[in-house]
């Protein structure tokens, strides 16, 4: 059998440059981390109320605020106070003027538990606020009327 490289110059030509491969893998890792974080907001354990009319999937510039059964506010997977929520909404609106806020509140809550979130949205200048609900008897899945 003949060796693959006869001299140093041939050995250099046979090397495989893995730098582009590593770059692609790193981009994929970052992509899946971001998508996983966004999906985690959608999977928060909140029992949504039923709705008859539903709309499609959320917009790409949708900011999801979860109101858990105990009344705690969850923004991007972190529990926040109403004051911190207002600051975050103001910051988000300055970065994305057309931001859409979707509020996912547990069905066991009264509107009084959701109202501070709506007020914070209004104070921050957010013009589109949607309340999330399950499809109910007319449809399946989650929508945001």
The torsion of the CA quartet 99, 144, 142, 89, rounded to 10 degrees, works out to 30
Planar angle of CA 140, 76, 133, nearest 5 degrees: 20
Say whether 53 sits in a helix, a strand or coil: coil
In this predicted structure, what is the pLDDT of residue 27?
Answer: 95
Confidence of residue 38 (pLDDT cuts 50, 70, 90): confident
- Tell me the pLDDT tens digit for each residue of 41-88: 666 667 666 665 555 555 567 888 988 888 889 888 888 998 999 999
Give 145's pLDDT tier (boundaries 50, 70, 90). very low
Q: Which residue matches tokens 């970065």?
A: 95
């Amino acid at each position: 059998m003949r060796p693959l490289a006869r001299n140093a110059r041939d050995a250099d030509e046979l090397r495989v440059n893995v730098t582009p491969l590593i770059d692609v893998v790193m981009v994929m890792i970052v992509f899946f981390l971001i998508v996983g974080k966004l999906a985690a907001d959608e999977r928060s354990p909140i029992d949504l109320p039923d709705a008859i009319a539903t709309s499609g999937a959320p917009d790409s510039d949708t900011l999801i605020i979860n109101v858990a059964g105990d009344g705690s506010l969850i923004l991007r997977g972190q529990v926040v106070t109403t004051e911190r929520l207002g600051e975050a909404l103001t910051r988000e609106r300055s970065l994305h003027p057309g931001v859409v806020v979707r509020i996912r509140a547990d069905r066991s809550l009264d509107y009084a538990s959701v109202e501070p979130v709506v007020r914070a949205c209004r104070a921050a200048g957010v013009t589109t606020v949607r309340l999330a609900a399950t499809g109910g008897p007319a449809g399946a899945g989650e929508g945001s009327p």
